[in-house]
Amino acid sequence: MRHLIAVDWGTSSLRGARLDDAGQVLEEKSALLGILNVPNGDFAGVFASLFSGWMKPAGTRCLISGMAGSRQGWAEAPYVACPAGPGDLVQQLHWIERGRIAIVPGLSDTQADVPDVMRGEEVQIFGAMRLAGLADGLFVLPGTHSKWATVRGGRVTGFRTYMTGEVYGLFGQHSILARTLDASASLDAAAFRRGAARAGNGEGLLHNAFGVRALALFGRLSPTESASYLSGLLIGEELGRQELPASGEVIVIGASALVARYALALGERGAKVRTFGAEATWAGLRALQA
């Protein structure tokens, strides 16, 4: 099997891993050089500065997932429509250098005549499937734009995106709520649970969000508690839109701090949660190596 360099190139940062023939990580690198931070748009130069040494052995191949394949990235890799599995992505790889460097396409889906898209998360899903030994399930990828994807027979059959993380940032930094909460505070589990439970009251997010300010004015939420309460409201709103599988198991993939919040909220609904981090990306890119 060829040596593989796995790269996840996002909006604000990129990271890469050198994998051995068994898929084990030999070395990792990261830099704050996401697609919006590439000097003069020199993607090839940034890639060479970080990974040229890894690419030297004969037969080495690099697969790049994430926003590097967007219109603002290195080269646009068109979306593959759902349902789609790893083989469908392999067929649509966008080659920067034939046989050596390729960008993985994202996925698209349509719900009620409105399109939805993902880039990078599809690789994490296929990686988690490989690591967990699953061909079916519900996969959640928390983040600025959270994804909920359904997998059947080893293929993503559909997904939906929620702007939960971005809305949290807007509320916590640019709304009246910013005056009464500490957006950088660590998780207060009790306040988070209160917010998640409140999200299920049927009153709607726009009303419940103002309650963050009112509770603070009456001394019933501290700035630290307010941040977790708001997070619980937003994630609770997101979860309230989901139909959990009969098995009760949900796979959550992402950064540990955010994954912990989703696991907490899902646990309150009786779900069994399995979690994965960066290893899902590396396993997913390896699964795409022809």
- The DSSP result for 113-157, as a single string, is TEEEEESSHHHHHHHHHHHHT-SSEEEEE-STTEEEEEEETTEEE
Q: What is the DSSP letter of 179?
A: G
Long-range contacts of 272-277 (CB under 8 A, 24+ apart): 272/247, 272/248, 273/249, 274/132, 274/249, 274/250, 275/251, 276/124, 276/127, 276/128, 276/131, 276/132, 276/251, 276/252, 277/253
What distance in Å separates the CA atoms of residue 183 and residue 171, rounded to the nearest whole number? 9
Q: What is the reported pLDDT for 248?
A: 80
At 11-64, the pLDDT tens digits run 999 999 999 988 899 999 999 999 999 999 999 999 999 999 999 999 999 999
Flag whether pLDDT at 159 surpasses 80: yes
What distance in Å separates the CA atoms of residue 111 and residue 148, rounded to the nearest whole number? 13
Going by CATH, does the domain composed of 4-133 fall within 1.10.1040.10? no
Q: Sorting pLDDT into bands at 50, 70 and 90, what band is 147? A: very high
Q: Where are the domains of the chain?
A: 4-133
Flag whether pLDDT at 2 surpasses 80: no
Q: How many CB atoms lie within 10 A of CB 249?
A: 16
Mean pLDDT of 175-191: 94
Structural contact between residues 149 and 139, judged by C-beta atoms closer than 8 angstroms: yes
Structural contact between residues 92 and 80, judged by C-beta atoms closer than 8 angstroms: yes
Q: Which of 137, 145, 100 is nearest to 121 (CA)?
A: 145
Q: What is the reported pLDDT for 289?
A: 83
What distance in Å separates the CA atoms of residue 283 and residue 240, rounded to the nearest whole number? 31
Task: Give the CA-trace dihedral at 204, 210, 216, 218, to 10 degrees.
Answer: -90
All residues at 6 or more sequence positions from 224 whose CB lies less than 8 Å from its CB, including other chains: 181, 182, 185, 186, 188, 191
What is the pTM (predicted TM-score) of this model? 0.94
Q: What is the reported pLDDT for 118?
A: 98
At 198-213, the pLDDT tens digits run 999 999 999 999 999 9
Q: Which of 109, 113, 198, 192 is nearest to 148 (CA)?
A: 109
